[in-house]
Chain A
Amino acid sequence: MEELLRREHEVMKVCLLAGKIMLESGAETYRVEDTMVRIAAAFGLDNSHSYMTPTGIIFSIEEPSHMTRLIRIASRTTNLYRIDRVNSISRSIHLGELTVTEAFRALQETEREKPNYPSWLMILMAAVVSGCFLLMFNGTWEDVLPAVLAGGLGYITAVSMEKVVPVRFFAEFSGALIIGMTSVWLVRAGLGRHLDLIMISSVMPLVPGLMITNAIRDLMAGHLISGLSKGAEAFITSFAIGAGIAFMLTFL
């Protein structure tokens, strides 16, 4: 019995860590719940239940000792690489390639791993993406350069502000503020023509498109609490961006 309890405890730890990494990386609700239940089942503990909201996970194993635990999730980003890693770890657990201890170690490694790409590349990509969006919105080539500059600067601001002040809203607000300021000045300096198009395109790297879509998808799939809270998060982010742009348009 002692042995069984200890094993249950270990499996619980693996499941919770897997769920935590996935949730913090922005995985879909059903995938987190499903992965946790599957891992437990692969280790021989059937009848487990997982309940996830964007701010916490409750996981419960019915047998042998009715153990239930809760973990709190404070911050969420989008990191598709980690979701992919946890997915392949869970796959190898299912195939019986990993023991409980090995699985736990692999997950810990995933959690510690540095981001997939260097930050200069991410900033460069944010700038390039802004330019591409300008072309997709049927903008002219002369507006590409201002969009690239504004988009890149806005992204740098948002990322570095988030490191200084851990308030997401404020980071996004200042990013949008810089985007608004840069685009207005560049247009006034004669470098760009269509202010609206430049602003829309350079704001795109900050827009919570993923969150909005995920929220609606969760709602449609019946994960009502997750859907509503993700929707609220998306709304706050868009509001921050809108407020930053509006602020600039009113005062400049």
Chain B
Amino acid sequence: MEIHHALQHVLASFIASAGFGILFNAPRRALLQCGAAGAAGWMLYIWLQELEVLPVTATVVAAFWVTIISHYFAKVYRTPIIVFSVSGIIPLVPGGLAYDALRHVAMNQYDQAVSLGAQAFMISGAIGLGLVLAEVTNQLIRKWLPTRYLGR
């Protein structure tokens, strides 16, 4: 990937995520972190796409990554995790696929529409799976780390 292409993606995803932070009324002090979470997730996603990883897998990994970052921010800034994870996840949401599916419905091409709709559903599921996996990982770490390193 060329440098300026990557830079364009970083900037666009950062502004888009921070902008969604504003649309969702995120606290002012959290906006930069919202943008950072979104940009980090999107960069991982397009890098995986470039390696020709399947979209669903790439989405799970990127959503996982976004949630891990959000957990970190939530802890450091003492803010509910939803503030960061919601804005960070937005670039991964399959809006384009859902639109394509509905466009085919409007054009009476139902077979295409169903397959595109199923893809959009799978990717939403992948986002959910990434979020849940990250939460489970976080809980496991919290459960095991203190006894091993801090509890003695």
Contacts and interface: CB of A to CB of B under 8 A. Distances in A.
B90 interface: yes
Contact of A116 (B27, B80, B98): B27
B109 to A, nearest CB: 12
A113 B24 CA distance: 15
Contacts of A247: 106
A143 to B, nearest CB: 13
A122 B22 contact: yes
Contact of A246 (B26, B102, B125): B102
A82 B24 CA distance: 10
Interface in A79-106: 79-84, 87-88, 91
Contact of B98 (A79, A121, A207, A243): A207
Interface in B15-42: 15-16, 19-28, 30, 42
Interface in B113-137: 124-125, 127-129, 131-132
B22 A125 contact: yes
Contacts of B100: 196, 200
Interface in B31-63: 42
A227 B137 CA distance: 22
Scoring A27, A78, A137 by chain B CB atoms within 10 A of each residue's CB, the highest score goes to A78
A132 B15 contact: yes
A125 B25 contact: no
A220 interface: yes
B75 interface: no
A27 B127 contact: no
A236 to B, nearest CB: 13
Given A80-B83, A246-B105, A135 B98 contact: no
A92 B131 CA distance: 28
Given A84-B83, A121-B22, A128-B15, A207 B95 contact: yes
A133 interface: yes
Interface in A24-54: 26-28, 31
* Chain B residues touching A, range: 35 or more
Contacts, number: 153
Contacts of A125: 19-20, 22-23
Majority secondary structure of chain B interface residues (helix, strand, loop or mixed): helix
Given A84-B27, A212-B93, A217-B132, A242 B98 contact: yes
B86 interface: yes
Nearest to B86: A210
A184 interface: no
Contact of B25 (A79, A219, A238): A79
8 contacts: A81-B26, A88-B78, A115-B25, A129-B20, A136-B12, A196-B100, A200-B100, A242-B101
Given A125-B20, A200-B100, 19 more contacts: A27-B80, A27-B82, A31-B82, A78-B86, A80-B24, A84-B26, A84-B80, A122-B22, A132-B12, A136-B9, A196-B99, A200-B96, A207-B93, A210-B89, A212-B124, A213-B128, A242-B102, A246-B106, A250-B106
Interface of A: 26-28, 31, 78-84, 87-88, 91, 115-117, 121-122, 125-126, 128-129, 132-133, 135-137, 196, 199-200, 203-205, 207, 209-210, 212-213, 216-217, 219-221, 238, 241-243, 245-247, 249-250
